[in-house]
Structure 1
Amino acid sequence: MKKARRRIYPPSYKARFLKEYESLPARERAALLRREGLYCSHVISWRRTFAKRWRGRPRYLTRAKAQPYSQGAWGPE
């Protein structure tokens, strides 16, 4: 029996896929992942890789700062 091998994706494929993925509405993104045989974890890791390369952090990678309860959604008390 042959040993399974990992698939290797070239950077050009990753960039093209991310561009197409970001341009689609949410429901169609899942269809694209199924069609290409990928998981959402691929997208997450590829986004992080490209963000490190670009030295900028895209908005979807920045973490929102937590606010104290008094300044939260309920307003100041």
Structure 2
Amino acid sequence: MEFDQNCFASYKGKDSAMGFVNGHIYEVVVEQKKHGCELSAYFDTTNGHDFVREKIPYANEKSLQHFWNFEGGIQ
């Protein structure tokens, strides 16, 4: 996965109040920011519906990877 490009990631955290479900695969974009990362989820591929949540902040790549599984890691 590269920054600023659409990719697929599975959510591996507990089901969240934001609507993320453990094990579901989402189409996401991760932006690298000065003080961490921001994730935007656009589509829940598991259920086949739009899922727009923009600019969810994470302190760093390690915290992002704690909740999300990216094929090939983050580059």
TM-score, L = length of structure 2: 0.25
Specify which structure has the higher proportion of helix: 1
Larger Rg, first or second structure (1 or 2): 1
Higher relative contact order (CA 8 A, sep 6+): 2
